[in-house]
Amino acid sequence: MQYEGIDNIKTEIENYLITDAETLEQFRIQYLGTKNVLKDLFTAIKDIPNENKKEYGQKINAVKQLAEEKFALLQLQFQNNKADKKHFVDTTLPVAIKNQGAKHPITLIREELVTIFSKIGYLVAEGPEIETDWYNFTALGIPEDHPAKDMQDTFYIQTNPDIVLRTHTSNVQIRVMENQNPPIRIIAPGRTYRNETISARAHCVFHQIELLYIDEGVSMADLKQTLLYLAQELFGTETQIRLRPSYFPFTEPSAELDVSCFICGGSGCAVCKYTGWVEIGGAGMVDPLVLENCKIDSEKYTGFAFGMGLERMAMLKYRINDIRLMSENDFRFLKQFENS
């Protein structure tokens, strides 16, 4: 009860509008004068149980100090502003926050994924968006003229065909493996670029997140368990996963990761196109040739990698039907994520 009284007086003091000498004097009398409103609260200390006395006393003292500070500051400002009383500005008033910003859905998804993986020991890694052919392609088992290059339409820098805008975050795998000895456990979120026609589902600028785990004895079972952990953390403990055989030049074997549809629970709906499953990324065991390209002994170490698109994930999670909304900065769209 008394605690509420203190909080109310604190809010009153913070919001007390002082515009001239008269209101400043009223403020002084009310909160610092001989019969000020805090006195009753000080008197009430005797009724407070012993174990709470200290906390209670500290609270009232803090409020008293707030009143003293506000008074001293305004007195000073008021003296300085005497010549211009009409334009006196009370700088102690709390700011009314209007149109406060909200986190972008891509940021929300990225933060969620980083939290999920930091709980099991993954560290965040980064790599450049302007990359050499070696890190984006060759070291990942995609040499010059390899048909796999057609899988990802690439933006090249006109004056130097060796430099590309990275087409995926897999370049970070190479940069980390070149510089770190196993065990390696990283998560690498970042922006990626592809020379693709923009549509409701595809963009030429989008985000991916890469996962890499290299150690002795890492197996496909570890990959599957990690992906199950990811799916259940993201969409709930009922979620199931399945791995479909696929092809990536840098993993062998490779797989696409599907999760049981978190909208219909697997019975079939428009989001999963009535299949009960939704695809969320690509994965596989790191190809031994990629390890050797990074001077990691492929006889001793094995590992897995996983990559997924953040826009597609945000579209699924927040039921966004057009990827373009995420880069248009329309305030009406962004506002919807204020409480996410």
Residue 249 engages ligand FA5 in binding (rule: CB under 6 A): no
Residue 302 interacts with ligand FA5 (CB under 6 A): yes or no:
no
The H or E element spanning position 320 is: none
> Which one of 294, 308, 316, 325 is in contact with ligand FA5 (CB under 6 A)?
308
Among 16, 78, 88, 206, binds ligand FA5 (CB under 6 A): 206
Q: Is position 185 an interface residue for ligand FA5 (rule: CB under 6 A)?
A: no
- 190 forms bridges with which residues in the sheet? 208
Choice from 306, 315, 325, 326 touching ligand FA5 (CB under 6 A): 306
Beta bridge partners of 258: 242, 279
Among 230, 309, 315, 316, binds ligand FA5 (CB under 6 A): 309
Site string for ligand FA5, 163-182 (x = CB under 6 A): -----x-x------------
- Tell me if 303 contacts ligand FA5 by CB under 6 A: no
**Residue that is written with structure tokens 């002994």 in the block:** 297
Among 92, 239, 251, 293, binds ligand FA5 (CB under 6 A): 251
Pairing label, strands 184-193, 123-124: parallel
By beta-carbon proximity to ligand FA5, the closer residue of 29 and 130 is: 130
273 sits in the region (left: phi over 0; alpha: psi -120 to 50; else beta) called left
**Exposure on the CB side of residue 115, measured as CA atoms within 13 A:** 8
223 is an interface residue for ligand FA5 by CB under 6 A: no
Distance CA 290, CA 296 (A): 9
Please give the Cα distance from 113 to 210 (Å, whole number): 10
Shortest approach of ligand FA5 to residue 266 CB, angstroms? Answer: 20
Q: Is 117 in the site for ligand FA5 (CB under 6 A)?
A: no
Which residues are CB-neighbours of 276 under 8 A, at least 6 positions away? 260, 261, 264, 266, 267, 268
Q: Is 110 in the site for ligand FA5 (CB under 6 A)?
A: no
Closer CB to ligand FA5, residue 90 or residue 222? 222
Spatial neighbors of 97 by CB under 8 A, at least 6 apart, are: none
DSSP letter for each residue of 67-88: HHHHHHHHHHHHHHTGGGGGG-
* Binding-residue pattern over the window 256 to 295 for ligand FA5, x denoting contact by CB under 6 A: -------------------------xxxx-----------
Binding positions for ligand FA5, rule: CB under 6 A: 152, 168, 170, 194, 196, 202-203, 206, 208, 210, 248, 251, 281-284, 305-309, 311-312, 323
